[in-house]
Structure 1
Amino acid sequence: MAKSTVYFTNEITPEAVLKMYRQLGVELPGKVAVKVHSGEDGNQNFLRPAFMKPVIDAVHGTVVECNTAYGGARNETPKHVQLMKKHGWSDLFDVDIMDAEGPDVVWPVKNGKVLHDNLLGKNIENYDSMLVLIHFKGHPMGGYGGALKQLSIGCASSAGKAYIHSGGKVKDQAVLWDNICPQDTFLEAMADAASTVADHFTGKIAYVAVMKNLSVDCDCCAVAENPCMGDIGILSSLDPVALDRACLDLVEHSADPGRNHFMERVNSRHGAHTIEAAEALGVGTTDYELVRV
């Protein structure tokens, strides 16, 4: 696989998010799904809708999310719809909870190490292309949250999330926590699931990652640690594997005093294994060139 290009800027503004998308030189065709992390109720670190507005408006996108598989304000459609309004997403954009109504769509995983199928919100098939907007940060279970998590857990239905977390054992969130799979199995299942979305939108998907509000906790945490590092910048790529690797490398090579705390979260969860597993599946490559813009 040829070396992938990852673009990087230190500038962190709404206009820079659009600039970094434009840097990729692609025009996403047709109806565009824009995958964001909309933030759990109580979370202070998620990136606000206004920050993403220029790029979402530019692609005429619909903001898409799926219900979660754990307790909170996003595990059932009516509550999730209300939170999207509370957080301001519905004021600025068309919003689609893709698994609001069943049945889920089931996409086969080609050569999956853990999963043979991936369960997604059925509305994902209504879109011609996808813009993946990533708030790069840590994560309590995955070690970090980046492009691969947005493709996998982010696009999976509530049942699909349970399926990934259980390593393909259960689809019911009520019994999920009694069926959590071993850590590396979970990370490999995420890579399996991510591969189906990357494959589905081949040639019609782009990724922009914002390295801001760098907490060790994800935006899915209602009670999250405050950021432990200073903001780094914005990256973009057509390769989610290269993008996640580049984000981790920027943290790892940082002189910020919070770097060790952040990397302890990543390494204690073996987070980079998701990247390795996705690369093995052919989703992308860790061989990248960082181009500063």
Structure 2
Amino acid sequence: MRESAGGVVHAAAAGAVVEAAAAVAACAPAGTKTAVPAQPKATVYFTSDISPEGLVKIYDKISQNVKGKVAIKFHTGEPHGPNILPVPMVKALQEHIPNSTLVETNVLYPSPRQTTEGHRETLKTNGWTFSEVDIMDEDGAVMIPVKGGKHFKEMSVGKHMLNYDSMVVLTHFKGHAMGGFGGSMKNIAIGCADGKIGKAMVHGSSQDNTWGATKSLFMENMAESAKATMDHFGDQIVYINVLRNMSVDCDCAGTSAAAPKAHDIGILASTDILAVDQASIDMVYQLPEAELHDLKERIESREGLHQLEYMKELGMGNNEYDLVNLDK
């Protein structure tokens, strides 16, 4: 075992998961069923080094088109959230990327982060004080197009998102109470939607039912919201998933989040949003049964794998990928 910024990494266990996931990558991936014309495989990079150095190293593999003013989309977490990404890791990445700013949006549900003032207090509580954090909907929202969507023609996002040329999607991969799991797609689907309009659109809310979407519809709403942000940045958006402290609960759960039962796996990165989330699921599904059970139950009881199916249907990326292990 070795110690990282993410805690204890079980190298042998993580290695077995990676080898199994690499084999899975060569076969039919879990969760995607839609038949589409063949296309070149995506490339997904992996490192078991969950540390500032490991994060910077893997980012450099996907950074070629990141330029101009850069938004780093992360999750601030609820106050004192036990599973949020380690501050030293995020700080190292932000300092490594020229002209970059951490970005977030306010939330829809009752929380200190429902208002910009409360959100800024949470930033202080959780240690996000080393750099400016742009609350993108602080000054309102703007509509951007959803190309090819069947539920939305446009999506409401934080107005400040238009101030950036590129986006780095830095995601703590974990379970999610509604989505089954939260990966890069969920990070921008809900995380770039503004807290007053966009998030309500994604959740399918009405005046009578704030959380109105059915399970499969919610996955599709998320995917279409994410596609709006993805299309906005074109080839200047990249994705990093950190498979660490993988509770069945999102960081929105704060201190009430269930304790993780799975060991930390590592970091995955790609320029392809579907590939990075697919690879993350593939690795999680190679965990030993005792570690996988709760996460799998959370994912499948929420129809979470439909995220991957619908991203494929929308043409958001490739579920087939080559896994490049940077540890070798």
TM-score under structure 1 normalisation?
Answer: 0.94
1:185-204 counterparts in 2 under 5 A? 185-204=217-236
Counterpart of 2:165 in structure 1 is: 128
Structure 1 position 46 matched with structure 2 position 84:
yes
| CA contact 1:241–1:284 (8 Å) conserved in 2 | yes
1:102-117 counterparts in 2 under 5 A? 102=140, 104-117=141-154
Structure 1 position 205 matched with structure 2 position 237:
yes
> Among residues 1, 20, 30, which one is paired with 2:58 in the alignment?
20
Structure 1 position 8 matched with structure 2 position 46:
yes
| CA contact 1:183–1:269 (8 Å) conserved in 2 | yes
What amino acid does structure 2 have at the position aligned with 1:241? L
Provide the rounded CA distance (Å) in 1 between the counterparts of 2:145 and 2:85. 32
2:267 counterpart SS class: strand
Structure 1 position 78 matched with structure 2 position 110:
no
Larger CA deviation: 248-257 vs 220-229: 248-257
Counterpart of 1:268 in structure 2 is: 301
2:113 counterpart SS class: coil
Counterpart of 2:20 in structure 1 is: none
Larger CA deviation: 31-40 vs 45-54: 45-54
Provide the rounded CA distance (Å) in 2 between the counterparts of 1:11 and 1:285. 25
What amino acid does structure 1 have at the position aligned with 2:125? K
What amino acid does structure 1 have at the position aligned with 2:135? I
| CA contact 2:262–2:287 (8 Å) conserved in 1 | no
The Cα of 1:255 is off from its aligned counterpart by: 2.0
Larger radius of gyration: 2
What amino acid does structure 2 have at the position aligned with 1:242? A
| CA contact 1:230–1:256 (8 Å) conserved in 2 | no
Structure 1 position 151 matched with structure 2 position 188:
yes
What amino acid does structure 1 have at the position aligned with 2:176? H
Structure 1 position 284 matched with structure 2 position 317:
yes
Q: What percent identity do the matched residue pairs reach?
A: 41
Structure 1 position 217 matched with structure 2 position 217:
no
TM-score under structure 2 normalisation?
Answer: 0.84
Provide the rounded CA distance (Å) in 2 between the counterparts of 1:87 and 1:254. 30
The Cα of 1:178 is off from its aligned counterpart by: 4.3
Deviations 1:74-116 (A, max 9, x none): 1111101111122111x211110000122x1101211112222
2:152 counterpart SS class: coil
Q: CA RMSD in A?
A: 1.3
Structure 1 position 240 matched with structure 2 position 273:
yes
Provide the rounded CA distance (Å) in 1 between the counterparts of 2:178 and 2:91. 29
What amino acid does structure 1 have at the position aligned with 2:81? N
Counterpart of 1:32 in structure 2 is: 70
Gaps in structure 2 of 5+ consecutive residues:
1-38
Counterpart of 1:88 in structure 2 is: 127
The Cα of 1:256 is off from its aligned counterpart by: 5.7
Provide the rounded CA distance (Å) in 1 between the counterparts of 2:70 and 2:55. 17
Gaps in structure 1 of 5+ consecutive residues:
none
The Cα of 1:289 is off from its aligned counterpart by: 1.2
Runs ≥4 residues deviating over 2 A: 175-179
Counterpart of 2:177 in structure 1 is: 140
The Cα of 1:28 is off from its aligned counterpart by: 1.3
2:170 counterpart SS class: strand
What amino acid does structure 2 have at the position aligned with 1:155? C
Larger CA deviation: 39-48 vs 279-288: 39-48
Provide the rounded CA distance (Å) in 2 between the counterparts of 1:176 and 1:247. 36
